Structure 1
Amino acid sequence: MDGITPQLLALQLFTGLALGAIYVLLAVGLSLIFGMLTVVNFAHGAFFMVGAYVGLFATEKTGSFWAALVITPIAVAAIGMLCERWLIRPLYGRGIDYPLLLTFGLAYMMVEGVRIIFGKAGIPFETSEVLQGATNLGFADFPTYRLFVIGVVAALLVALWLLIEKTSFGLIVRAGARDPVIVRVLGVDVSRVWLIVFGVGTGIAALAGVLSAPLQGVSPEMGTSVLTIAFVVTVVGGMGSLMGAVVAGLLVGVVESMAVLFFPEAAKVSMFVIMAAVLLVRPQGLFGRAGLMA
């Protein structure tokens, strides 16, 4: 423990928050789709990966990282909506296994498609010059880009909360997640709501992909490990719970970051330890509802 100062602990905390912010985006998109559609989206990691590639392509074509941040979630959301409309929707009502298996196969198709178009080698992703370098936090310097990621995720979560809690569309989403039959009886086109929700969920995953790209580069396999993390965070927070996704994402990110400092060998295992501990106490997760998978 020698050499571990309060400044180092604070830096690791901020590093964990930046890492957790990416996890939050992944889990929020996954939870949003499951909470409304009851679809276990195994293609979520692939949409994350496609988002990174779309962001890379948009940055090269426009010369602007900022433009890529806007274009990427919109483009991938459109792809996600097409998948929901023509591939997933026909499977509603046939049991939870059918969409799961379809999205599992869809993920493989998306990865192979990217390999064919862009190749198998990883590609570096350069961000805007404004976001390069470090920012002085008073106690130490911290990478400016990681602070930017934390800020973007915080702003997005506020916007998502306002959408779900303060708008008529959000009311329909919340009601549809609890009882879609009643919502349909009231004259609401639930299918259109499902389409939009799936698009929003995949768009958020794509935004997570383009935000993480400058930190790790871009490769066809980048969505595989991320999918595991997304499901761990979602299970810890509670399937279908947006609040659970936020809390669990930040918790897993901070714990993993601190584990790197104190016990590096166990850093990658720490999230599974958290999941096991939570499930032993609350099988439905921190904020999940019992029986949701039934």
Structure 2
Amino acid sequence: MEIFGIPHQAFLGQLMLGLVNGAFYAMLSLGLAVIFGLLDVVNFAHGALYMLGAFAAWILMDQAGINYWFALVLAPLLVGLLGMVVERTMLKRLYGLDPLYGLLLTFGLALILEGVFRKLYGVSGQSYPVPELLAGATNLGFMILPNYRAWVVFASIAVCVGTWYTIERTRLGAYLRAGTENAKLVQAFGINVPLMVMLTYGAGAALAGLAGVLAAPVIQVQPLMGSNIIIVVFAVVVIGGMGSILGSVVTGLGLGVIEGFTKVFYPEASNVVVFAIMVIVLMVRPAGLFGKEA
């Protein structure tokens, strides 16, 4: 049986690969959207935080014998704490200024973090084993489904939906949105806005760290893994709409699938298809697919 001229197993396998890539795009762009949408900071250090999450999981395993499931909790917490320190010591001084200042600061921070880890671990990469519970694959009859990749897709979608619901449908999310639009009014009601802003940046950083832990068993853990993906993730955020959480999730998953199928039908274009779509979207709808027109 063939689908679009290729064997159905190859077609479905490529669909799964696209969904896995799209899951990472969605989680990373979600963190970017949360930070930009609520704090108006273009966080170019997001790729470095993703790398730190993967390295934190590997170091916890290598130095302390901590397994994947504990690292899935501990590593994002550590990255989130680092994010809060960065927000309190650096970014808070830039609020109210042009977002370009935040971009330059976080870009420099990303270069520093990558340089430190290149000095410590080189660029060859470290392998992280797939957890025993998720090893192997499941035969669905029409395709062989790798268990770990299925887990990555499921976990990423669950986290993305949970984050969207928290920000868009809960009282906490309402406080967050109100605090970024009119901080003085929210403070008048007894809400600690600086603490809320710090926790928001920490949560966005933790999402990047969580994506790094999920990626560790799939790719080599190495210092440049963040810089290799962050440009694509920024394109995803622009296509979905800067600051749009729903746009980041839907666009990330969709573009991962499109990129995957491009590798089958026209491999030469697979590295540029996301950017080609970004150009078209910006020409037709500059605010992005889910963004709000100014």
The normalised TM-score by structure 2 is: 0.93
Shift of 1:187: 3.6
Q: Residue 4 of structure 1 corresponds to which residue in structure 2?
A: 6
Given candidates 166, 175, 178, the residue that maps to 1:175 is 178
Matched position secondary structure for 1:142: strand
Specify whether residues 264 and 184 from structure 1 end up closer, same or farther in structure 2 by C-alpha distance, changes over 3 A only. same
Q: Residue 127 of structure 2 corresponds to which residue in structure 1?
A: 124
Specify whether residues 97 and 191 from structure 1 end up closer, same or farther in structure 2 by C-alpha distance, changes over 3 A only. same
Q: Residue 226 of structure 1 corresponds to which residue in structure 2?
A: 229
Specify whether residues 43 and 69 from structure 1 end up closer, same or farther in structure 2 by C-alpha distance, changes over 3 A only. same
CA contact (8 A) 1:58 1:67 kept: no
- Distance (whole Å) between structure 1 residues aligned to residue 75 and residue 291 of structure 2: 30
> What is the identity, as a one-letter code, of the residue corresponding to 1:15?
L
Shift of 1:3: 6.0
The aligned length equals 291
CA contact (8 A) 1:59 1:67 kept: no
- Distance (whole Å) between structure 2 residues aligned to residue 96 and residue 42 of structure 1: 11
Shift of 1:162: 3.4
- Distance (whole Å) between structure 2 residues aligned to residue 30 and residue 222 of structure 1: 17
Aligned: 1:266 with 2:272 = no
- Distance (whole Å) between structure 1 residues aligned to residue 4 and residue 199 of structure 2: 52
- Distance (whole Å) between structure 2 residues aligned to residue 74 and residue 186 of structure 1: 29
Q: Residue 242 of structure 2 corresponds to which residue in structure 1?
A: 239
> What is the identity, as a one-letter code, of the residue corresponding to 1:229?
V
Shift of 1:130: 2.0
- Distance (whole Å) between structure 1 residues aligned to residue 292 and residue 142 of structure 2: 41
> What is the identity, as a one-letter code, of the residue corresponding to 2:96?
G
Matched position secondary structure for 1:39: coil
Matched position secondary structure for 1:274: helix
- Distance (whole Å) between structure 2 residues aligned to residue 142 and residue 130 of structure 1: 15
- Distance (whole Å) between structure 1 residues aligned to residue 286 and residue 259 of structure 2: 22
Given candidates 58, 70, 75, the residue that maps to 2:73 is 70
Matched position secondary structure for 1:230: helix
Q: Residue 200 of structure 2 corresponds to which residue in structure 1?
A: 197
- Distance (whole Å) between structure 2 residues aligned to residue 235 and residue 177 of structure 1: 21
Shift of 1:181: 4.6
Q: Residue 111 of structure 2 corresponds to which residue in structure 1?
A: 108
The normalised TM-score by structure 1 is: 0.93
- Distance (whole Å) between structure 1 residues aligned to residue 193 and residue 4 of structure 2: 59
CA contact (8 A) 2:76 2:207 kept: yes
1:1-294 counterparts in 2 under 5 A?
4-60=6-62, 61-291=64-294
Matched position secondary structure for 1:216: coil
- Provide structure 1 residue ranges, at least 5 long, that are not aligned to the other structure: none
- Distance (whole Å) between structure 2 residues aligned to residue 210 and residue 115 of structure 1: 19
Shift of 1:25: 0.4
Any idea what the Cα deviations from partners look like across 1:170-210, whole Å, max 9, x if unmatched? 11123234444543444422211110110010100011111
CA contact (8 A) 1:252 1:274 kept: no
Matched position secondary structure for 2:252: helix
Any idea what the Cα deviations from partners look like across 1:75-104, whole Å, max 9, x if unmatched? 000000000000110111222122111111
Matched position secondary structure for 1:222: coil
Larger deviation: 14-23 or 72-81?
A: 14-23
- Distance (whole Å) between structure 2 residues aligned to residue 289 and residue 185 of structure 1: 28
Any idea what the Cα deviations from partners look like across 1:45-102, whole Å, max 9, x if unmatched? 1111111100111222234111111111000000000000001101112221221111
> What is the identity, as a one-letter code, of the residue corresponding to 2:41?
V
CA contact (8 A) 1:41 1:100 kept: yes
Shift of 1:125: 1.5
Shift of 1:116: 2.6
Shift of 1:30: 0.4
- Distance (whole Å) between structure 2 residues aligned to residue 256 and residue 250 of structure 1: 10
- Provide structure 2 residue ranges, at least 5 long, that are not aligned to the other structure: none
CA contact (8 A) 2:164 2:245 kept: no
